[in-house]
């Protein structure tokens, strides 16, 4: 069998047979413990600075950010953004309960559909699972209420993110996923797809020169809901 062909060839190279049970048990316990390694110090900051670092890194990677005091203020921020971008007041929205609970009825000029992304979408509103300050990165795990296609197909991708979901390093975001997610199929924490997104799509394939908006969104806008009193800078509090 081809599986054994490969495994046996590996073992021949390593000059040993299959691993004995005690060694396998040791390796399994490493998998269970999934130890962390060096975590860069750059994101180990007090909460207000951590959120500020997240925003600074987002902007360095050509994304934009807006901060709103509470979830009820998100629809106005969406309307403002679409108007500022000269986009129609229409978008595809992730069918996420946090987004659905927002007071959209106060903004009758905004029209949206709760669904997956489509090829002709101009704008989308996604729910952010976590923000990673280290590099200004969004973690977007797939789920029925967080379709992957919304991250990819629209020209302008908007993401709502609670400040309390902003962490320092990648490892902290994975720890949060490990702790809170349960996959219906495997029973583990890993959903079908997890995207780490850092800024809008781009390419430097033409003469090594950066151009934004290759195949994915040309613009990425993050609306941060300041739900975490500890994360609000003194100037805003």
Partner 1 sequence: MMQVHSPQFKERASAALADAPLQKALTRFRDGFQAKRAAAVAGLPEFEALRDVARDIKNHTLAHLDFYLERYADNVERAGGVVHWCPTADDARAAVLKICQDAGARTVTKGKSMISEELGINAHLEAHGMEPVETDLGEYILQVRDEPPSHIIAPAFHLNREDWEDSFRRAHTELPADREFHERRDILTEARARLRNKFLTADVGITGANFLIAETGTSVIVTNEGNGDLTQTLPRVHIVLASIEKMVPTLEDACTFIRLLARSATGQDLSVYTTFSTGHRREPDLDGPEEYHVVLIDNGRSGMLGTEFQDMLRCIRCAACMNHCPVYGAIGGHAYGWVYPGPMGSVLTPTLKGVDKAGHLPNASTFCGRCESVCPVKIPLPSLMRHWREREFERHLTPPVARRALGFWAWFAKRPAAYRLATRLGARTLKLLGRGRGAFQSLPFAGGWTAGRDLPVPEGGTFMAQYARRQRGKT
Question: How far, in Å, CA of 122 to CA of 4, rounded?
Answer: 50
β partners of residue 65: 222
Q: Is 7 in the site for partner 1 (CB under 8 A)?
A: yes
11, 17 Cβ separation under 8 angstroms: yes
Binding mask 86-115 toward partner 1 (x if CB under 8 A, else -) reads: ---------x-------------------x
CA nearest 216: which of 128, 149, 142, 153? Answer: 153
H or E segment to which residue 134 belongs: none
Q: Is 44 in the site for partner 1 (CB under 8 A)?
A: no
H or E segment to which residue 17 belongs: none
Question: How far, in Å, CA of 124 to CA of 51, rounded?
Answer: 23
Shortest distance, position 79 Cβ to partner 1, whole Å: 25
Q: Is 190 in the site for partner 1 (CB under 8 A)?
A: yes
Q: Is 30 in the site for partner 1 (CB under 8 A)?
A: yes
DSSP state of 202: E
Q: Is 64 in the site for partner 1 (CB under 8 A)?
A: no
- In the list 200, 222, 223, 225, the residue contacting partner 1 (rule: CB under 8 A) is 200
Minimum CB distance to partner 1 smaller for 63 or for 82: 63
Q: Is 180 in the site for partner 1 (CB under 8 A)?
A: no
User: In the range 136-175, which residues lie near partner 1 by CB under 8 A?
Assistant: 137, 142-144, 147-149, 151-153, 169-171, 174
Beta-strand (E) ranges in 28-122? 64-68, 90-93, 111-114
Question: How far, in Å, CA of 49 to CA of 167, rounded?
Answer: 11
Minimum CB distance to partner 1 smaller for 27 or for 230: 27
- In the list 40, 46, 103, 229, the residue contacting partner 1 (rule: CB under 8 A) is 40
- In the list 59, 183, 227, 228, the residue contacting partner 1 (rule: CB under 8 A) is 183
């Amino acid at each position: 069998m081809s599986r054994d062909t490969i495994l046996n060839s590996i073992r021949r190279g390593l000059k040993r047979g299959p691993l004995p049970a005690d060694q396998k048990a040791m390796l399994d316990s490493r998998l269970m413990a999934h130890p962390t390694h060096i975590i860069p110090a750059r994101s180990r900051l007090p909460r207000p600075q951590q959120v500020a670092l997240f925003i600074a890194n987002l902007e360095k990677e050509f994304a934009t950010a807006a901060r709103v005091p509470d979830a009820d203020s998100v629809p106005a921020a969406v309307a403002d953004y679409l108007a500022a971008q000269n986009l129609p007041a229409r978008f595809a929205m992730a069918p996420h309960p946090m987004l659905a609970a927002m007071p959209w009825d106060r903004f009758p000029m905004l029209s949206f559909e709760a669904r997956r992304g489509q090829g002709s979408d101009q704008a989308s509103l996604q729910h952010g699972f976590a923000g990673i300050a280290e590099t200004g990165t969004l973690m977007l795990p797939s789920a029925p209420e967080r379709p992957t296609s919304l991250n990819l197909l629209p020209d302008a991708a908007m993401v709502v993110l609670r400040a309390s979901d902003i962490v320092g390093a990648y490892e902290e975001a994975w720890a949060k996923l490990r702790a809170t997610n349960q996959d219906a199929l495997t029973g583990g924490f890993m959903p079908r797809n997890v995207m780490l997104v850092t800024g809008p799509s781009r390419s430097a394939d033409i003469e090594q020169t950066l151009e934004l908006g290759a195949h994915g969104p040309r613009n990425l806008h993050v609306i941060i809901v300041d739900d975490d009193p500890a994360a609000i800078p003194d100037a805003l509090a």
